[in-house]
């Protein structure tokens, strides 16, 4: 397939959103899909670490280091998807309106999560299993703290 054909296909699939750099001009549904994708991948790489921290899976320092490095990039990807223009969407989302009425607190929760991931990256280089497990627990707590306040309960 030639490059132009690919681009035509992409444009068709995602509407005008793709070719616009300003996030606020992107369709709410695309923003929801993208931020949920970031959450899905964060959980993909956190899940096995939670299992290790709980003793439900064998501890593997290499997996901790790899996943921590992935998370250190993934933890930057969800947030621009919570643009205020995504408030009114036909997509299924558990995002609560408090995200937009308390932006400073939401931002603080993001920073808290990112700091916890940075600590996990540092711990993963220490060779200290207990330290890594504690850092995994701290990341889990930062997820929960944000979800508690900003995500609809199920």
Site residues (vs its own copies, CB under 8 A): 1-3, 5-7, 10, 14, 17-21, 33-34, 36-38, 40-41, 43-44, 47-48, 50-51, 54, 56-58, 60, 63, 69-70, 73-74, 76-77, 137, 140-141, 143-145, 147-148
Distance CA 85, CA 63 (A): 38
Distance CA 99, CA 102 (A): 6
CB 120, min distance to its own copies, A: 14
Closest among 46, 30, 42, 36 to 151, alpha carbons compared: 36
Contact 83, 23 (CB under 8 A): yes
26 versus 99: smaller Cβ distance to its own copies: 26
Length of the chain: 154
CB 114, min distance to its own copies, A: 15
50 versus 100: smaller Cβ distance to its own copies: 50
CB 84, min distance to its own copies, A: 19
Count other Cβ atoms within 10 Å, centred on residue 78: 18
CB 6, min distance to its own copies, A: 4
């Amino acid at each position: 397939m030639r490059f132009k054909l690919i681009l035509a296909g992409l444009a068709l699939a995602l509407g005008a959103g793709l070719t616009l750099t300003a996030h606020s001009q992107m369709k709410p549904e695309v923003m929801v899909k993208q931020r949920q994708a970031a959450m899905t991948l964060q959980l993909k790489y956190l899940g096995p670490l939670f299992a290790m921290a709980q003793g439900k899976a064998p501890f593997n320092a290499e997996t901790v280091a790899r996943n921590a490095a992935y998370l250190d990039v993934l933890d930057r990807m969800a947030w621009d998807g919570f643009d205020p223009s995504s408030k009114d969407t036909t997509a299924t989302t558990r995002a609560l309106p408090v995200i937009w009425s308390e932006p400073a607190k939401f931002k603080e929760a993001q920073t808290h999560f990112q700091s916890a991931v940075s600590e996990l990256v540092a711990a993963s280089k220490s060779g200290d299993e207990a330290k890594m497990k504690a850092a995994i627990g701290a990341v889990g707590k930062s997820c929960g703290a944000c979800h508690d306040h900003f995500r609809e309960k199920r």
